[in-house]
């Protein structure tokens, strides 16, 4: 299939690379000349493990090209995929500026063209958006009518940043929402080789599946965080508890890792958007409200643990390790490192930050006064406490003795259960973590 992918963010770039890998001919369009240029040179426009290699291979084979002109990309294609951003507005509702612009560009490209074309929304949009916003915008700009002039579909993406290529190559399921049979057929032609469950639904249902999935996963993490805080309070290890819980096939073991809260470009934004939709439609979600409230408090739990161990944070040198919202990405959107950093600073700590990839992104977010260490070792040197916010493999690989050798006080507060408590303590590290209670406490406790 000849595909135009509009938007070379991580979703667009990964989707384009994998579609090209699977035998389709793809042109990636992004008005940002740096992104388009990177793809043309065979490089990744965004940091994502394996993406550079996948793009380089596809470009070399002539299966993937890039342009800054979306109209040109769509003119040569049978199907276009909207992979543009849907940032939140101040009130949490969706800003559809980019979706509308991309729809208009598709329409312009279709004007005067002969062949049938299918427009597919891959951006995460609220139920009703593809039918109520994308479709009329394409109709208006093209002068054609949906149904006979062109097809419309929704194909939500379930990629996780950091695992995006694996997720795209072997998804758990593919969902297609389609206006009509021809539109559904056009999208399924992209996924012929995949053996996973495939679901064909209406446009709105596909849009809602994406939101309900993210909101449920965020709720799962939020619940795990609450259980973890309780476990710590009563002297239990939440990791062990959740291991037992996750063995129930109805629950499943994934997304039960407690931590400093969920961040990223999807969970926080999607939960807010769904919450707002529920309020507007008079079907409010009490659960999602609580999930967001808990997620706002959870990073402060990490700061509380540091304060409890140090007595006061005033004047203490704290190494904040991990600024990306999760490992294997340089993405700092909604990172829990920001509230942790601010709370540490507000309490008077001298904070030195380190992240293998997200340092400059975090500085742009948190302000130019952010002190960035050039290496993990430099961040730890002379620190009174290390707070771990992202569970990077680089941190895990550090021998526990290094904390003792480098830090003024070898105190580690682990917001992501990055380390093995036994190994850390055996090496002489004072180790505290989310969800890790002191067994002595539970042994003494009486119900």
User: Which residues lie near ligand UGA (CB under 6 A)?
Assistant: 124, 157-161, 214, 217, 221, 255-257, 259, 262-264, 266-267, 325-326
Closest approach, Cβ 245 to ligand UGA, in A, equals: 12
The answer to whether residue 118 is catalytic is: no
Nearer to ligand UGA, 82 or 266 (CB): 266
Distance (Å, whole) CA 64 – CA 12: 12
Rounded CA separation 197/426 (Å)? 47
Reported as type and span, the H/E element at residue 217 is: helix 203-233
| Beta carbons of 361 and 332 less than 8 angstroms apart | yes
Kindly state the smallest distance separating residue 326's Cβ from ligand UGA, in Å.
4
Is residue 431 within 8 Å of 424, Cβ to Cβ?
yes
Choice between 102 and 388, CB closer to ligand UGA: 388
| Active-site residue identified among 231, 266, 353, 385 | 266
In the complex, least distance from residue 298 CB atom to ligand UGA, rounded to whole angstroms: 9
Report yes or no: 112 and 95 within 8 Å, Cβ to Cβ: no
Residue found by looking up tokens 């643990």 in the block: 305
With respect to ligand UGA, which residue has the nearer C-beta, 257 or 316? 257
Length of the chain: 447
Judged by beta carbon, residue 59 or residue 321, the one nearer ligand UGA is 321
Quote the least distance from Cβ 330 to ligand UGA, whole Å. Answer: 13
Which of 38/221 has CB closer to ligand UGA?
Answer: 221
Q: How far apart are CA 326 and CA 85, in angstroms?
A: 20
Per-residue tokens: 174:
């593919």
Question: Helix axis angle, 10-21 relative to 33-40, nearest 10°?
Answer: 20
CA distance 431 to 146: 61
User: Minimum CB separation from ligand UGA for residue 50, in Å?
Assistant: 15
42 or 85: CB nearest ligand UGA? 85
CB 147 within 8 A of CB 180: yes
- Reading the block at residue 155, the tokens are 């194909």
Beta carbon of residue 324, minimum distance to ligand UGA (angstroms, whole number): 9
Give Rg (Cα) of the chain: 24
Residues 6+ apart with CB under 8 A from 149: 110, 116, 139, 142
Q: For ligand UGA, which is the closer residue by CB, 86 or 142?
A: 86
Residues 286, 295: Cα–Cα separation, whole Å: 14
Phi, psi for 285 (deg, rounded to 5): -100, 115
Burial class (CB in 10 A: 0-12, 13-18, 19+), 48: buried
CB-nearer residue toward ligand UGA: 10 or 150 = 10
Q: Which residues contact 180 (CB under 8 A, 6 or more apart)?
A: 147, 151
CB of 134 to ligand UGA, least distance (A): 18
CB of 255 to ligand UGA, least distance (A): 4
- CB of residue 66 to ligand UGA, shortest distance in Å: 22
> Rounded to the nearest 10 degrees, what angle do helices 286-310 and 337-346 cross at?
40
Per the structure block, which two tokens stand in for 97? 């500026």
Residue 61 CB neighbour total at 10 angstroms: 10
Number of Cβ within 10 Å of residue 374's Cβ equals 9
417: DSSP letter: -
Identity of the residue, 20 or 159, whose beta carbon is nearer to ligand UGA in the bound complex: 159
Which are the catalytic amino acids? 266
């Amino acid at each position: 299939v000849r595909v135009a992918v509009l938007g070379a963010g991580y979703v667009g770039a990964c989707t384009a690379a994998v579609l090209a890998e699977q035998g389709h001919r793809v042109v990636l369009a992004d008005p940002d000349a740096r992104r388009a240029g990177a793809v043309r040179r065979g490089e990744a426009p965004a940091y994502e493990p394996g993406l550079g290699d996948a793009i380089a291979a596809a470009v070399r084979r002539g299966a993937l090209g890039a342009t800054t002109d979306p109209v040109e990309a769509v003119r040569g294609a049978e199907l276009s995929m909207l992979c543009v951003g849907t940032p939140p507005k101040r009130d949490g509702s969706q800003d559809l500026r980019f979706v509308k612009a991309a729809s208009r560009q598709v329409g312009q490209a279709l004007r005067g063209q002969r062949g049938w074309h299918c427009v597919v929304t891959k951006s995460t949009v609220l139920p009703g958006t593809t039918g109520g916003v994308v479709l009329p915008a394409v109709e208006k700009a093209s002068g054609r009518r949906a149904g006979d002039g062109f097809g419309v579909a929704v194909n939500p993406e379930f990629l996780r940043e950091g695992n995006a290529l694996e997720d795209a190559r072997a998804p758990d399921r593919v969902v297609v929402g389609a206006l009509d049979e021809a539109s559904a057929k056009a999208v399924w032609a992209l996924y012929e080789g995949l053996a996973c469950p495939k679901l064909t639904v209406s446009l709105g249902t596909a849009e809602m599946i994406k939101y309900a999935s993210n909101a449920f996963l965020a709720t799962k993490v939020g619940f795990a965080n609450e259980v973890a805080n309780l476990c710590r309070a009563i002297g239990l290890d939440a990791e062990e508890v959740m291991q037992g819980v996750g063995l129930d096939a109805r629950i499943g073991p994934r997304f039960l890792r407690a931590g400093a809260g969920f961040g990223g470009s999807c969970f926080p934004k999607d939960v807010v958007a769904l919450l707002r939709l529920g309020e507007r439609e008079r079907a409010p979600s009490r659960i999602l409200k609580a999930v967001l409230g808990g997620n706002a408090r959870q990073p402060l739990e990490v700061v509380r643990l540091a304060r409890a161990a140090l007595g006061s944070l005033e004047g203490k040198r704290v190494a904040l390790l991990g600024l990306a919202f999760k490992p294997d990405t340089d993405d700092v959107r909604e990172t829990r490192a920001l509230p942790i950093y601010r709370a540490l600073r507000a309490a008077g700590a001298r904070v030195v930050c380190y992240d293998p990839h997200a340092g400059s992104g975090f500085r742009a977010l948190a302000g130019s006064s952010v002190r960035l260490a050039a290496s993990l070792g430099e961040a730890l040197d002379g620190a009174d406490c290390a707070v771990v916010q992202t569970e990077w493999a680089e941190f895990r690989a550090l021998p526990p003795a290094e904390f003792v050798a480098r830090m003024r006080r070898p105190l580690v507060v682990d917001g992501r259960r990055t380390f093995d408590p036994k190994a850390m303590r055996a090496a002489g590290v004072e180790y505290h973590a989310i969800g890790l209670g002191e067994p002595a406490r539970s042994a003494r406790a009486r119900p």
